[in-house]
Amino acid sequence: MPIPARWSSQLQSLLRIVTALGFMQHGVSKFFGIPPFPMPLNPLLYTAGTLELVGGSLFLLGLFTRPVAFVLSGMMAIAYFMAHAPKSFFPAVNGGEPAMLYAFIFLFFAAAGAGAWSIDALRSRSAAR
Which tens digit of pLDDT belongs to each residue from 57-94? 999 999 999 999 999 999 999 999 999 999 998 999 99
Hey, CA dihedral for 85, 86, 89, 91, is it positive or negative?
negative
The SS3 call for residue 63 is: coil
* pLDDT score at 1: 81
pLDDT tens figures, 91-116 = 999 999 999 999 999 999 999 999 99
Buried b (16+ CB within 10 A) or exposed e, 91-105: beebebebbbebbeb
Q: What is the mean pLDDT of the chain?
A: 96
- Cα distance between residue 129 and residue 126, in whole Å: 5
Average confidence (pLDDT) over 38-52: 96
Instruction: Tell the burial category of 4 from Cβ atoms under 10 Å away from its Cβ (0-12, 13-18, 19+).
Output: exposed
* Other beta carbons less than 10 A from residue 71's beta carbon: 16
- Give this prediction's pTM: 0.94
What percent of the chain clears pLDDT 70, i.e. is strictly above it?
A: 100
pLDDT tens figures, 18-32 = 999 999 999 999 999
